Structure 1
Amino acid sequence: MKSTNTAMGGGAVKVHIPALGSHQGIEHRMHRALSQKPAHLRLTEDQTTELADMFRLMSDPSRLRIILACLETPISVGDMASALGLSPSLVSHHLRLLRAGRLIQAERRGNRVFYLITDEHIRRVLSDMVDHVAESEGVDGDDDVAQT
C-alpha cells in the first residue's frame, strides 16, 4: 500500500492508495468495473435463467423456511424437519432441489449430514430480505385492507 500527502484547504491530508499491481487491487478494480454496468447488462442469458431458477426455488414457502433454517448454523434433516413441522422425506426432497440450485451446501460430520448456506452473497440477500420484511411489518398500516 502506498501513501501520499495532498494539500487541501491549507492542511496536509494523508491518503492511502492500494498498490496497483497487487492482486487485491486488481480484483477490486474488476469488481468495481463490473458493478458500474447496469444489472441487466452484467448477466448473460444463461446467468439470467439461473437467477430466475434461484428465485423460483425460493418462492415455495416450505423451501424458503428450509433455507432460512440453514442461514445461521448448520442443521441436520431430522432437526430441520422437527423445527419446521415437515416430514423428513419432504425436507430431503426440498434439500436436493436447493443443493442442485446452489443455494445450500451439505457437510458430512460422521454419519450425519448438516446443511448450511456458505455463499456470502446468498446469506446477505436473505438476511437483508428478512430484515426488510420484519421492519416493514405494520408500518403505516400497510397490513390493513383499505375499506371503501
Structure 2
Amino acid sequence: MKALDKDLCEERCFHPQTICLAKAAMLDDRRVRELAEMFKILGDPTRIKILHALSRQEMCVCDIAETLGMNQSAVSHQLRTLRAARLVKFRKDGKEAWYSLDDDHVISLMCQGLEHISHTDGR
C-alpha cells in the first residue's frame, strides 16, 4: 500500500444505513455557502484581531485602529466586511462610530475556535 493510500478504505464498501442518515442530515446548498462564506471572512488575521478586541468592549474606529497599529481607512474596510456578515454592529454617537460584536454567537465562535486550537489530545 502506498503511503498516500493509508487514509483510504482498503476495500470498497458501503454502509447503507450510515449513508441514509448522513444524507438526511446534510445541510442544504444555501446553508453550506453561507457557512463557508462566514468561515472565509473569519479566515483573515486582521478581522480576527478586530473581533478579539471587540470581544472585550465596544470600541470606536479610532481606538480599534490605534490598538491594531493600522490606519482608520484600513480598519473601516475590514469593519464593513464584518458588518455585512453580521459579525459586528455599529452605532453613531455624534461624529464617532462605535463598534461591538453583533451577538453572543460571535463570542462563542471565537471561544470555540481558540479552545480547538489550544487543546491537545496526545497526537
Considering the TM-score relative to the shorter chain, is it more than 0.5? yes
Q: Which has the higher contact order (CA 8 A, sep 6+)?
A: 2
The runs of 5 or more residues in structure 2 that have no matched partner are: 1-20
Aligned to 1:106: 90
Structure 1 residue corresponding to 2:81, chosen from 92, 97, 103: 97
Q: TM-score, normalised by structure 2?
A: 0.70
Residues 45 and 74 (structure 1 numbering): CA distance in 2 closer, same or farther, change over 3 Å?
same
Q: Secondary structure at the match of 1:71?
A: helix
5+ residue gaps in structure 1? 1-36, 143-148
Paired AA for residue 96 in structure 2: R
Q: Does 1:53 align with 2:33?
A: no
Q: Partners of 1:42 and 1:75 in 2: how far apart?
A: 39
Matches within 5 A, 1:1-148: 41=25, 43-133=27-117, 135-136=118-119
Provide the secondary structure at the position in 1 that maps to 2:33: helix
Give the CA deviation at 1:132: 4.2
The answer to which structure has the higher helix fraction is: 2
- Number of residue pairs matched by the alignment: 102
User: C-alpha offsets along residues 4-60 of structure 1, whole Å, 9 cap, x if unaligned?
Assistant: xxxxxxxxxxxxxxxxxxxxxxxxxxxxxxxxx97x936421121111111101111
What CA distance in whole angstroms lies between the structure 1 residues aligned with 2:64 and 2:26? 36
- How far 1:130 sits from its partner (Å)? 2.6
Aligned-pair identity (%): 33
Secondary structure of 1:113's aligned partner: strand
TM-score between both structures, scaled by the size of structure 1: 0.59
Q: Point out the structure with the larger strand share.
A: 1
Instruction: Provide the alpha-carbon RMSD of the alignment.
Output: 2.6
Partners of 2:77 and 2:66 lie apart in 1 by 15
